Chain A
Amino acid sequence: MKSVSEFRTIMTGNDAVAYGAKLARVKFISAYPITPQTTIVEKLASMIANDELDAKYVEVESEHSALAAVFASELTGVRSYTATSSHGLLYMHEMLHWVAGQRLPIVMSVVNRAIGPPWNIWADQSDTINQRDTGWMQVYSESNQEAMDTIIMGYKIAENADVMLPLMSMEDAFILSHTSEPVSMRNQDLINEYLPDLDLKFRIDPENPMGYGSYDTPDGSFMELKKDMVDSMGKARKVIMQETEKFNEIFETNYGGLVERYRMDDADYAIIAMGTVASTARFVVDKLRGKGMNVGLIRIRYFRPFPYDEILADLKNVKSAGIIDRSVSFGYAGATYSEVVSGLYGRINIPVSSFITGIGGRDVRSEDIENIAETIRKGSNGTYWINVKRVI
């Protein structure tokens, strides 16, 4: 009987993610340093330098070039990896579309950091929410262990023949990236069984030359290619559930698929959150339950594909709900809020409120979430900024 984990140790989220990439046997890495992501690729570079990881590391002059290099290497059928944050991710924006459009199952780590101005390096999910329409799957982790395991599950899901879309795996800046937690190092042999080598069907092959990056016309296949990406996002829902379940069985974990539910079975009120805010919310749920308030938590793991059905199934039985966004969408409510309410429209009619908090890394305290829960209990359809100061 193999042990599911080789050992358990204390490490930062960024180290955990680097070990996740190592366990996934990535063969090519290209990245450009940006706080708070830098220590991920520093760790990987040192693994390569110390012969702990058999991979090629290419230094480039920008994030746009980093993803372009990874695009090219993945296109030759080599499992490739990169990581970035904030402005670096924005600089990659064009290449994000190229990678997804070329159907390359690349996994990238993004450490969620605020977008300037003013310069700010702290936790804020606006950077990845900005990229929601690029065709990448998006996962938001809540612990260092989950961040590590998501890289491995990410490649398995992305490389599925019915999916073939890239995946972004998120950590909240510093709260996960630079905070040490106990993490179990997965058994490499079991990972190898779970995640076979990449076999890319349409890869660059001198024996079988094809055109890549060609042009297409309005009457060609352009529209069909885009629709196929949407169809694959739909199929990814099932694949995510299957592969997460398989991982849970092998490694004795209990990750939810697209969402994770906490005390929702008998809940009258629901808090919906994503990333590390959900950990604080879970603590608050227990506290308020002790005071007799029947509140539950839905933690969104996958923002793309978006878990409409899962959220709808849970919200059918509650009186009201509220959504916490750690990102800003100028001109409307929180991004997660608008996704959720559009999924509910015409199917169930309950008050749903939007809460914006933790912007630019401002601390999200348990008392903030208690206030949020109280507003949800009153039943409201408003948008609220929580813990925002009066600026004169």
Chain B
Amino acid sequence: MVLVPVSTVSTRNHPTDSWRIQRPTIQYDKCIRCMICWKYCPDNAINIENGDERAPNDRVAKMEYPVIDYNFCKGCGICANECPEKCIDMEFEVIE
């Protein structure tokens, strides 16, 4: 028998949040739920969730909306760069 490099442990058990220098924050009152950030995230660190009352109007409030998974976001800023409404802010992480 030989040793083979396969992993049976999910990458969910290996958070990469400590890699982040800048933290993206979505301004939900400006977000139009286009999901472009979700499409562009290279790390699948943006999830889709159902209806949110922080939406700018009732119609948008019923739509699915993007939520950043801060356990895995590495802070690359691609979402902020691609956002057509420029409603994702990048701010330096503060170590408390």
The B-contacting residues of A in range 84-121, CB under 8 angstroms, are 101-103
Q: In the complex the two chains form, is A201's CB within 8 Å of B4's CB?
A: yes
The A-contacting residues of B in range 1-21, CB under 8 angstroms, are 1-11
Q: In the complex the two chains form, is B6's CB within 8 Å of A202's CB?
A: yes
- Main secondary structure on A side of the interface with B: loop
Complex-state Cα separation, A210 to B1, whole angstroms: 19
Q: A103 contacts which chain B residues (CB < 8 A)?
A: 2-5
Q: How large is the interface on A (under 10, 10 to 19, 20 to 34, 35 or more residues)?
A: 10 to 19
**Interface membership of A161, Cβ < 8 A:** yes
Complex-state Cα separation, A380 to B34, whole angstroms: 78
| Most chain A Cβ neighbours within 10 Å, of B6, B8, B10 | B6
What residues of chain A have their CB less than 8 Å away from a CB belonging to chain B?
101-103, 161-164, 201-202, 210-212, 214, 216, 221, 224-225, 228, 232
> Contacts A103-B2, A216-B5, A225-B5 given; 11 further ones with Cβ under 8 A?
A101-B5, A102-B4, A102-B5, A161-B1, A162-B1, A210-B7, A211-B9, A211-B11, A214-B5, A214-B11, A224-B3
Can you give 6 contacting A-B residue pairs, CB < 8 Å? A101-B5, A201-B4, A211-B8, A214-B7, A225-B3, A225-B5
- Total A-B Cβ pairs within 8 A: 42
User: Which 3 pairs between the two chains have the least Cβ-Cβ distance?
Assistant: A211-B7, A228-B3, A214-B7
**Nearest CB of chain B from residue A296's CB, rounded to whole Å:** 37
Q: B7 contacts which chain A residues (CB < 8 A)?
A: 210-212, 214
**Nearest CB of chain A from residue B56's CB, rounded to whole Å:** 41
Q: Contact check: which of B2, B3, B10 meets A163 at CB < 8 Å?
A: B2
Q: How large is the interface on B (under 10, 10 to 19, 20 to 34, 35 or more residues)?
A: 10 to 19
Q: A228 contacts which chain B residues (CB < 8 A)?
A: 2-3
**Nearest CB of chain B from residue A215's CB, rounded to whole Å:** 9
Q: Contact check: which of A162, A163, A201, A221 meets B5 at CB < 8 Å?
A: A221
Q: In the complex the two chains form, is B6's CB within 8 Å of A211's CB?
A: yes
**Nearest CB of chain A from residue B5's CB, rounded to whole Å:** 5
Q: In the complex the two chains form, is A221's CB within 8 Å of B6's CB?
A: no
Chain B residue with Cβ nearest A101? B5
Q: In the complex the two chains form, is A212's CB within 8 Å of B6's CB?
A: yes
Q: In the complex the two chains form, is B5's CB within 8 Å of A210's CB?
A: no
Chain A residue with Cβ nearest B3? A228
Q: A162 contacts which chain B residues (CB < 8 A)?
A: 1-2
Q: B1 contacts which chain A residues (CB < 8 A)?
A: 161-162
Q: A101 contacts which chain B residues (CB < 8 A)?
A: 5
| Most chain A Cβ neighbours within 10 Å, of B1, B9, B10 | B1
**Nearest CB of chain A from residue B8's CB, rounded to whole Å:** 6
**Nearest CB of chain B from residue A106's CB, rounded to whole Å:** 14
Q: B11 contacts which chain A residues (CB < 8 A)?
A: 211, 214
Q: In the complex the two chains form, is A210's CB within 8 Å of B3's CB?
A: no
| Most chain A Cβ neighbours within 10 Å, of B1, B5, B6, B11 | B5
Q: In the complex the two chains form, is B5's CB within 8 Å of A164's CB?
A: no
Complex-state Cα separation, A103 to B1, whole angstroms: 11
Q: A210 contacts which chain B residues (CB < 8 A)?
A: 6-8
Complex-state Cα separation, A228 to B5, whole angstroms: 11
